[in-house]
């Protein structure tokens, strides 16, 4: 039975990742005007520093687009605050799920609220 549970969790994660607008590490570095020979390592280091939300999809570092101010080429300031405040038991995937789903308290998805601020 444990393999069925793992399989179910993997399918749920795949569906969630498929529902998000994601960019890869190279695209994120270009958006942020970061010149580097290793975009994946750069974005992973930023994620470890709680500067950006990073996910892994098919072995690649991917980043949810909602956290970027694409017009100004920056990460929204509130992303760092959210990452520092979240409980340790909440994974980046769970956080993205919460941020991208409509909530009555936010009159929509919190991720959309982040972009509006």
Domain segments of the chain as ranges? 2-116
d(CA 98, CA 75): 19
Residue given tokens 């930023």 in the structure block: 46
pLDDT 10s digits, 59-114: 899 999 999 999 999 999 999 999 999 999 999 998 988 888 766 666 666 666 56
pLDDT-above-90 percentage for the chain: 57
Residues 80, 48 contacting (CB under 8 angstroms): no
Residue given tokens 């290793």 in the structure block: 38
The predicted model scores a pTM of 0.78
């Amino acid at each position: 039975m444990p393999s069925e549970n793992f399989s179910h969790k993997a399918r749920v994660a795949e569906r969630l990742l498929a529902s998000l607008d994601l960019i890869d590490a190279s695209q994120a570095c270009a958006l942020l005007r970061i010149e580097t020979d290793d975009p994946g390592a750069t974005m992973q280091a930023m994620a470890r520093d709680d500067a950006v939300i990073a996910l892994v999809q098919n072995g690649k570092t991917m980043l949810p687009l909602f956290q970027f101010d694409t017009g100004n080429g920056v990460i929204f300031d509130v992303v760092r605050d959210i990452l520092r405040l979240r409980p340790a038991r909440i994974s980046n995937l769970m956080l993205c799920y919460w941020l991208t789903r409509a909530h009555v308290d936010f009159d929509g998805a919190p991720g959309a609220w982040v972009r509006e601020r």
